């Protein structure tokens, strides 16, 4: 298990390093950016910019300096918001993004797995069909269509929740979290249903039934682990989906999270901020991937003994 | 066992599987609806005496009126909503199908080479894919769209650049198992070059898988395009795409939901159809489900 | 036959398939006495495994069993799943064909064994685990105490089958159903498994229904043998009688296909011509008729009844008359 952990962590670090390097050089090469030399700006501004980003130094030195900064959570000053550093902006946005992101992940996993298992155990029941329908809708209708419609219905017409913002306590959370969770609920419930049906056909589940330990125990103690493993493997991609979704959701619901900053930064060509957020997202994604692998190793002895 | 080691004959196998696909009613209905939408998007706008970019300031914010020339009304510049939506569909669908095709071709070739050649080359090639996978997909698209300088071409390149990964991984796995099969061995012994083997044996034999996953790529590309256009990073005004029409519709949705609903319905319908078609193709083609 | 432990009458097993209803087992009847080892022999597709599955309530969802199977006076086929759970894993246990996939890969072997004791006998996990280790030791798993804390993938095929045997016998069942437990194993391992099984069954007084296509195994282990073909009994006899003087043409053919070490090496195997008939088309006559070398006209038209031709010896063939 220890060896398995070490190997996974080393893998993650390697990917993280590659991500950092790639982001840095892509940004330096981007045309029309603050780092490109053919931009027409006044000499004083240029001198300021060059000093702020150490552009007068060789590229490798700049790179090493940037890496050292990142390791200390220092991404340099923002290009657009002159008074703030990128780190300030990230720290300001993080609570909002983490709150809706983690809630959405929790809601999606719990609901998705529950619906999937119930659907598999009561195949072709009303519940199974309605879950299937929700899954198709959730997968096919993009959240930037679903979220505005939810706003119109639940906020404008029914007035249950605010249209956007962060001023109504838990009520401001409901619509963004549900909108963010929905596509993942759809996907996870379908994934769980299929793997549960397959697991119930496994020989070892038949062995468990032959032991006469009761249907509840057969499902809980024997079928569940196998059925849940594909869902655990999906946790990495699900994190990516939630990060992506949060970009739209924060824009639609006017939440000052990181995703919203990312869109603004991309539109304003605020390169240091874009780099900072990309690296942060990459870090979150890699962390969750490692977490998912560890969870998989914990559930499946064959993975950790590999 | 003897049969299993014969090279698959793509042609007869394909027609058999398409036959099975045709029996799937939901998928076939989706094909019909999708064809209708595609035809409407590409030919529909010519039926009207104006384009989606012609502002008619005498007819601003008209409502739905099937007796007038503006069937679904106009926006606040007096531009016809239906025509704009159809024109937007033209952009979205073109990027969708073309993007999936190009990403698919790149992915298949990359995966076939990596899987068949193997060894050190394969390790390097798969490492590249793993690193690119570490970026959240849309983040990568946004980065690349910035790198390529914005605009439709940049958007297209960015989407293609990120979406070839999955077909590459899948084809690589298939090519690896094919490379160990006897008919490949025979081809090698018969003096075929690697390139010939890849083109004449490996690629055709992965065709079933590629069709299944390729059909899933199309909705993904359309979704990414409208996602980015929605955020203002992709297709920009005054040119219409479903993404930026939905974004524009959102501004007025609390008073007039029509501007949101028409492009949203079109997009959702197309995505539904493409998903059902992909499902149908998977049922008909999936080698694991024979 | 009031002293039977298991008494099966008119057992039929059918499956619903897209092509229609298929009969795997056709109106079968047999008895198992306490402490007796009964072998059921047949080629693959003869329906022999489905007999066991139907008794355990483990048929695939599209399968259905009818008839009667009295086990200690209670009809297994009439029981609900909950009622069956008071019998299976308690007084009736089963060993499966494929030891590689029949153990839960995510649970420690010792816990998988102990589970049954915890549920059925109300033992604490601690006591149940200790009991499990003792049983693993009895099936001759070396270093049982530490092996019990390991996972199935750390065991070889033969070891896993010993674990399966330990799991089945741990609850001290009165009847053990064994579904080709040695088929997936190496020949050398096979005989070890058979020895363990025979020894334990004798010690514990357990009856066994042993399903196999391996006549060598039957000869070593079984008191009585049923030869099955196309879901029907062809011949039923005490093992020594069947091996020395088989009567039914199919039983004769079957015995001829078994290689004997004593036989000259030049002698080729007498393979029964033709392939086993699929269970789908239930013809009116004897299921073996299409492959039978000595068939007469009646064979394809009328199903021969199972008749007694000696003490505990029955066969179903038009060519063999009733015992006087």
Summarize pLDDT for B18-55 with one digit per residue, the tens: 777 777 777 888 888 888 888 887 877 777 776 666 66
Tokens 């390790």, located at residue:
B123
Least confident of A275-289, B66-80, B213-227, C218-232: B66-80
> For B14-49+81-285, which CATH superfamily applies?
MetI-like (1.10.3720.10)
Which of C198, C130, C215 shows the shortest CA–CA distance to C170? C130
B183 part of contact set with chain A, CB < 8 Å: no
Angle at A42 between CA A36 and CA A48, to 5 degrees: 70
- In this complex, the chains that touch B, judged by 3 or more CB pairs closer than 8 A, are A
Position B2 pLDDT exceeds 50: no
**If you measure CA to CA, which chain B residue comes closest to A156?**
B254
Integer Cα distance of B262 and B270 in angstroms: 12
Integer Cα distance of B75 and A249 in angstroms: 25
Position B281 pLDDT exceeds 60: yes
Contact yes or no for A140 and B268 at CB 8 A: yes
Predicted local confidence at residue C259, as pLDDT: 52
What are C126's two structure tokens?
């601690």
Chain A interface, best mutation among C50, C55, C71, C85, by max A CB count within 10 A: C85
pLDDT (tens digit per residue) in C139-153: 888 888 899 899 998
pLDDT (tens digit per residue) in A279-300: 888 888 888 888 888 888 888 8
User: In sequence order, which residues have a C-beta less than 8 Å from that of residue B188 and are 6 or more positions away?
Assistant: B197
Integer Cα distance of A191 and A169 in angstroms: 33
**ipTM score:** 0.84
- CATH classification of A86-305, choosing from 3.40.50.300, 3.90.380.10, 3.40.50.150, 1.10.3720.10? 1.10.3720.10
- Tally Cβ neighbours within 10 Å of residue C15: 18
**Is the Cβ–Cβ distance between C229 and C253 less than 8 Å?**
no
pLDDT, average across residues B117-131: 78
How far is residue C253 from each of residues B181, C222, C249, C270, measured CA to CA in Å?
Answer: 39, 20, 6, 7
Integer Cα distance of B190 and A303 in angstroms: 41
Stated pTM of the model: 0.79
Structure-derived torsion over alpha carbons of residues A138, A141, A143, A145, reported in degrees to the nearest 10: -140
Integer Cα distance of A114 and A118 in angstroms: 6
Position B205 pLDDT exceeds 70: yes
What are A165's two structure tokens?
């913002």
Which of C81, C89, C105 has the CB atom closest to A211's CB atom? C89
Predicted local confidence at residue B202, as pLDDT: 72
C123 part of contact set with chain A, CB < 8 Å: no
Position B6 pLDDT exceeds 50: no
How many angstroms away from the CA of C108 is the closest CA of chain A?
9
The B residues from 70 to 99 touching A (CB cutoff 8 Å) are: none
Looking at the DSSP assignment, which residues form a beta bridge with residue C38?
C209, C224
pLDDT, average across residues B252-262: 75
Contact yes or no for C101 and A202 at CB 8 A: yes
In this structure, the strands spanning C92-95 and C175-179 are parallel
Coil vs helix vs strand at B157: helix
Query: Helix (H) and strand (E) counts for chain B?
Result: 13, 0
B243 part of contact set with chain A, CB < 8 Å: yes
Tokens 């193709």, located at residue:
B281
Position C276 pLDDT exceeds 60: no
With contacts defined as CB-CB under 8 Å, which chain B residues touch A22? 131
Half-sphere exposure of C284 (CA within 13 A, CB side): 6
Q: Name the band, by pLDDT with cuts 50, 70 and 90, for residue C129.
A: very high
In this structure, the strands spanning C37-41 and C207-212 are parallel
What are C93's two structure tokens?
């246990």
Query: DSSP labels for A259-278?
Result: HHHHHHHHHHT-HHHHHHHH
**Cα C311 from chain centroid (whole Å):** 23
Which of C85, C86, C96 has the CB atom closest to A207's CB atom? C96
C322 part of contact set with chain A, CB < 8 Å: no
| Omega before residue B240 within 30° of 0, cis | no
DSSP one-letter code for A220? I
Predicted local confidence at residue C17, as pLDDT: 79
Least confident of A41-45, A117-121, C315-319: A41-45
Q: Name the band, by pLDDT with cuts 50, 70 and 90, for residue C324.
A: very low
- Touch criterion met for B and A (3+ Cβ pairs within 8 Å): yes
Contact yes or no for A208 and C85 at CB 8 A: no
- Tally Cβ neighbours within 10 Å of residue A1: 12
Position B194 pLDDT exceeds 80: no
Q: Name the band, by pLDDT with cuts 50, 70 and 90, for residue A301.
A: confident
Q: Give the domain ranges of chain C.
A: 6-91+172-315, 105-170
C276 phi and psi, to 5 degrees? -60, 140
Position A20 pLDDT exceeds 80: yes
Q: Give the domain ranges of chain A.
A: 86-305
pLDDT, average across residues B269-284: 81
How far is residue C64 from each of residues A303, B151, C50, C61, C278, measured CA to CA in Å?
Answer: 38, 64, 10, 8, 18
> For C6-91+172-315, which CATH superfamily applies?
P-loop containing nucleotide triphosphate hydrolases (3.40.50.300)
| Omega before residue C31 within 30° of 0, cis | no
Predicted local confidence at residue C272, as pLDDT: 54
A292 part of contact set with chain C, CB < 8 Å: no
Position A58 pLDDT exceeds 70: yes
**Is the Cβ–Cβ distance between C37 and C208 less than 8 Å?**
yes
Tokens 């419609």, located at residue:
A149
**Is the Cβ–Cβ distance between B249 and B264 less than 8 Å?**
yes
Position C280 pLDDT exceeds 60: no
DSSP one-letter code for A83? T
Q: Give the domain ranges of chain B.
A: 14-49+81-285
With contacts defined as CB-CB under 8 Å, which chain B residues touch A163? 254
Contact yes or no for C107 and A221 at CB 8 A: yes
Q: Name the band, by pLDDT with cuts 50, 70 and 90, for residue B60.
A: low
Chain A interface, best mutation among C87, C99, C104, by max A CB count within 10 A: C104
Chain B interface, best mutation among A97, A248, A266, by max B CB count within 10 A: A266
């Amino acid at each position: 298990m220890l060896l398995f952990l070490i190997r996974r962590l080393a893998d993650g670090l390697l990917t993280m390093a590659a991500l950092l390097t790639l982001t840095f050089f892509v940004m330096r090469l981007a045309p029309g950016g603050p780092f490109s030399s053919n931009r027409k700006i006044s000499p004083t501004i240029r001198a300021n910019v060059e000093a702020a980003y150490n552009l007068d130094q060789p590229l490798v030195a700049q790179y090493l300096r940037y890496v050292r900064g990142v390791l200390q959570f220092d991404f340099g000053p923002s290009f657009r918001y002159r008074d703030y550093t990128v780190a300030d902006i990230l720290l300001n946005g993080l609570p909002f993004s983490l709150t809706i992101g983690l809630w959405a992940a929790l809601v999606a996993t719990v609901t998705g797995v529950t619906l999937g298992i119930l659907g598999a155990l009561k195949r072709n029941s009303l519940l199974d069909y309605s879950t299937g329908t929700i899954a198709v809708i959730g997968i096919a209708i993009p959240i930037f269509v679903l979220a505005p419609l939810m706003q119109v219905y639940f906020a404008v017409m029914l007035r249950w929740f605010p249209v956007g913002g962060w001023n109504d306590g838990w009520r401001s959370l409901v619509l963004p979290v549900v909108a963010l969770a929905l596509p993942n609920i759809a996907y996870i419930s379908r994934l769980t249903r299929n793997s549960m049906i397959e697991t119930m056909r496994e020989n070892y589940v038949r062995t468990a039934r032959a032991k006469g330990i009761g249907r509840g125990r057969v499902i809980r103690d024997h079928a569940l682990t196998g059925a849940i493993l594909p869902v655990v493997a999906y946790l990495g991609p699900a994190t990516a989906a939630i990060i992506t979704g949060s970009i739209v959701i924060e824009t639609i619901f006017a939440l000052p999270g990181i995703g919203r900053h990312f869109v603004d930064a991309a539109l304003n060509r605020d390169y240091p901020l874009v780099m900072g957020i990309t690296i942060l997202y990459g870090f979150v994604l890699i962390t969750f991937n490692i977490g998912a692998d560890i969870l998989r190793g914990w559930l499946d002895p064959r993975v950790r003994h590999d | 066992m003897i049969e299993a080691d014969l090279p698959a004959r793509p042609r007869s196998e394909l027609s058999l599987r398409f036959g099975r696909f045709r029996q799937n009613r939901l998928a076939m209905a989706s094909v019909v609806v999708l064809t209708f939408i595609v035809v409407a998007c590409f030919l529909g706008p010519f039926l009207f005496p104006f384009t989606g970019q012609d502002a008619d300031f005498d007819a601003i914010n008209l409502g739905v009126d099937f007796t007038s020339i503006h069937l679904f009304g106009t926006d606040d510049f007096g531009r016809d909503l239906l025509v704009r939506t159809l024109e937007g569909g033209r952009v979205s669908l073109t990027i969708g199908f073309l993007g999936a095709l190009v990403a698919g071709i790149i992915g298949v070739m990359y995966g076939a080479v990596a899987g068949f050649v193997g060894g050190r080359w394969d390790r390097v090639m798969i490492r590249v894919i793993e690193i690119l996978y570490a970026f959240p997909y849309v983040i990568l698209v946004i980065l690349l769209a910035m790198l390529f300088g914005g605009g439709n071409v940049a958007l297209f390149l960015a989407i293609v650049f990120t979406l070839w990964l999955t077909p590459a991984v899948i084809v690589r796995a298939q090519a690896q198992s094919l490379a160990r099969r006897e008919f490949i061995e025979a081809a090698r012994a018969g003096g075929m070059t690697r390139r010939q083997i890849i083109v004449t044996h490996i690629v055709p034999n992965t065709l079933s898988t590629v069709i299944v996953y390729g059909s899933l790529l199309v909705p993904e590309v359309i979704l990414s395009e409208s996602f980015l256009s929605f955020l203002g990073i992709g297709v920009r005004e005054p040119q219409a795409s479903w993404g930026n029409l939905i974004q524009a519709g959102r501004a007025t949705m609390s008073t007039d939901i029509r501007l949101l609903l028409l492009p949203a319905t079109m997009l959702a319908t197309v995505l539904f159809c493409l998903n059902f078609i992909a499902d149908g193709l998977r049922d008909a083609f999936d080698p694991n489900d024979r | 036959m009031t002293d039977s432990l298991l008494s099966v009458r008119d057992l039929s097993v059918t499956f619903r398939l897209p092509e229609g209803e298929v009969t795997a087992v056709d109106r079968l009847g047999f008895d198992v006495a306490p402490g007796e080892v009964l072998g059921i022999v047949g080629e693959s597709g003869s329906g022999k495994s489905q007999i066991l599955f139907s008794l355990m309530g483990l048929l695939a969802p599209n399968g259905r069993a009818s008839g009667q199977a009295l086990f200690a006076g209670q009809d297994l086929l009439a029981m609900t799943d909950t009622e069956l759970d008071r019998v299976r894993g308690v007084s009736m246990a089963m060993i499966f064909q494929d030891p590689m996939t029949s153990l839960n890969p995510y649970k420690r072997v010792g816990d998988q064994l102990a589970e049954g004791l915890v549920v059925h006998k109300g033992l604490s996990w601690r006591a149940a685990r200790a009991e499990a280790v003792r049983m693993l030791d009895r099936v001759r798993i070396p270093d049982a105490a530490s092996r019990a804390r390991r996972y199935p993938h750390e065991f070889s095929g033969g070891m896993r089958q010993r674990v399966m045997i330990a799991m089945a016998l741990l609850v001290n069942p009165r009847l053990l159903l064994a579904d080709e437990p040695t088929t997936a194993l190496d020949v050398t391992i096979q005989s070890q498994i058979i020895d363990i099984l025979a020894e334990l069954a004798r010690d514990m007084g357990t009856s066994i229904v042993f399903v196999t296509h391996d006549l060598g195994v039957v000869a070593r282990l079984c008191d009585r043998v049923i030869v099955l073909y196309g879901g029907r009994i062809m011949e039923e006899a005490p093992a020594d009688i069947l091996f020395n003087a088989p009567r039914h043409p199919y039983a004769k053919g079957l015995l001829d296909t078994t290689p004997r070490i004593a036989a000259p090496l030049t002698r080729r195997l007498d393979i029964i011509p033709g392939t086993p008939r699929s269970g789908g088309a239930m013809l009116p006559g004897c299921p073996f008729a299409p492959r039978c070398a000595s068939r007469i006209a009646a064979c394809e038209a009328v199903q021969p009844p199972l008749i007694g031709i000696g003490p505990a010896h029955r066969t179903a063939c038009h060519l063999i008359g009733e015992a006087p």
